[in-house]
Amino acid sequence: MTMIYPLYRYFAETVPQARALFAEAANEAGVTVRTWEHPLPGPMGEMLALDACYLGPPDAENVLMITSGTHGVEGHTGSGIQVGVLRHLREMNFAPAIGVLLVHLVNPWGCAWSRRENEDNVDIFRDLIYLTPPYPDNPLYDQFEEGLNPRTWHGPERARADAIWDAFAAEHGMDVVTATIRRGTHKHAKGLTYNGQGPTWSRRTVEAVADAFLLSAKRIGVCDIHTGFGDFGGLLVCSHNARDSKSFQTVGRWLEADVYETGNHPLIPTHPAMPYEHLGPQVGAEVIVAALEYGTHDVAGAFDIFRANTFIHTYGDPQSEFASRVAAEYRELFYPRSATWRSTVLTNGMQMAARIGTGVTAWR
């Protein structure tokens, strides 16, 4: 897979375009797309949805599941890779005995509105991990919450928030500030990195997809595609599982890669599990998750864009000119316009999906 791809056939600029490319590629592959419509529209009034298609034996015990858009806006990249998988099934060389489930735009609302979060400001990645209370506390977040989340973008309230932010950074340092934000909160529903208080539309829909396609599965290998951390165009394979766990070791073996141990950088905190592992008990299968993280720009240096993006969708006007400018900057952070970046990520993403498919085939 060293060819040069016509990127317009893989990567979209809007959710309707992404859905159309996915449907076209699925049709060429001879598979049917099932659609779960989102209750809310996109910024142009367009219909949003999670789509899914399944290839292979319907009763396959070993299934490769490829997900895009767990973090909304990052879904454009994952969508392109999924379209690549469908368009190049021969090169993927999946074994006839395994099933392949593609779950397209887990958080379509976030993708459409250029947000990582969903319509309720929830980080879906965390919603798929922190399933039931009691939820973990984040006392530092609580202490400095007003500074992290300005109620207005100008005037005295903004100045007060910035003073709290500056005091937080001066007292603890930016690594602690970053780690505190990235750990998130279950208490502050309008805050940065809100982890939620129960199942979102996306989580419920993913569970419906599992009921539709995975009830015969005994072993599910998940390839969850993300962007925003690491060197530009580079790949980090990530896991929140312990280094000596079966899942961590298996992911490294499947992908022939060193697995990044989370918790060693303030941008990537440790969590007690991986997203989608909760589907295992639901369908009666073992689940191993590999998160593919493709590097983009300096996200660590762009937290004011994060603050602005959250403010717009909690206290501001998402349809304003200011919101449009922020959305464009935010989107570039997670979905670079660079053709070189997109080509590199597309090629690598298909290679990684093929490797996981090989690992899932041999999994017993």
Output the pLDDT for position 300. Answer: 84
pLDDT above 80: residue 346: yes
Structure confidence at residue 143 (pLDDT): 97
Kindly report the number of other CB atoms within 10 A of residue 260's CB atom: 18
**CB-CB contact of 22 with 11 (8 Å):** no
* Confidence band of 339 (pLDDT split at 50, 70, 90): very high
Residue at 312 is within a domain: no
Question: In the chain, what percentage of residues exceed pLDDT 70?
Answer: 99
Beta strands in 141-218 (DSSP E): none
Please name which of 149, 25, 12 lies closest in space to residue 69, comparing C-alpha atoms: 12
The closest alpha carbon to 293, from 134, 62, 70, belongs to 70
Residue 106 reports pLDDT greater than 50: yes
What is the average per-residue pLDDT within 21-31?
98
Per-residue model confidence (pLDDT) at position 276 = 98
331 falls within a domain: yes
| CA 273 – CA 30 distance, rounded (Å) | 35
Peptide bond into 134 cis (omega under 30): yes
CA distance 256 to 272: 24
Q: What SS3 state is found at 159? A: helix
pLDDT at residue 44 is higher than 50: yes
Q: What mean pLDDT value characterizes the chain?
A: 96
Helix (H, G, I), strand (E, B) or coil at 1: coil
Over 90: is that where the pLDDT of 201 sits? yes
Residue 211 lies inside a defined structural domain of this protein: yes
Whole-angstrom Cα distance, residue 121 to residue 115?
9
- Tell me if 54 is assigned to some domain: yes
Which DSSP string do the residues of 251-308 spell out, in sequence order?
HHHHHTSPEEETTSBTTB---SS-TTTTHHHHHT-EEEEEEEEEE-S-GGGGHHHHHH
Quick check: is 193 in a domain? Answer: no
pTM above 0.95, yes or no: yes
Q: Average of pLDDT values for 65-94?
A: 98
Average pLDDT of 39-58? Answer: 98
* pLDDT at residue 51 is higher than 80: yes
What's the count of helices (H) and strands (E) in the chain, helices before strands? 14, 8
pLDDT of residue 277: 98
Q: What is the pLDDT of residue 2?
A: 47
Question: Which amino acid makes up residue 328?
Answer: A
The CA distance from 134 to 264, in Å, is 25
Looking at residue 352, its amino acid is M
- Tell me what pLDDT residue 301 has: 86
- Taking residues 223-250, what's their average pLDDT? 96
Q: What SS3 state is found at 97? A: coil
Q: How confident is the model at residue 3 (pLDDT cuts 50, 70, 90)?
A: low
Full domain range(s) for residue 222: 7-132+202-303+326-362
Residue 117 has pLDDT above 50, yes or no: yes
Is residue 169 domain-resident?
no
Which of the two residues, 2 and 37, has the higher pLDDT score? 37
- Which is nearest to 71 in space by CA: 296, 243, 255? 296
The pair of three-digit structure tokens given for residue 250, joined into one six-digit string: 């298996």
Q: Which backbone phi and psi does 300 adopt, to 5 degrees?
A: -60, -30
Residues in Cβ contact with 18 at an 8 Å cutoff, skipping those fewer than 6 apart: 12, 75, 76, 79, 104, 105, 111
Number of domains composing the chain: 1
Percent of the chain predicted with pLDDT > 90: 96
In a domain, 150, yes or no: no
CATH (domain of 44): 3.40.630.10
Say if CB 105 and CB 79 are below 8 A apart: yes
* Residue 117 lies inside a defined structural domain of this protein: yes
pLDDT band at 168 (very low <50, low <70, confident <90, very high): very high
pLDDT for the residue 1: 44
Mean pLDDT of 281-303: 95
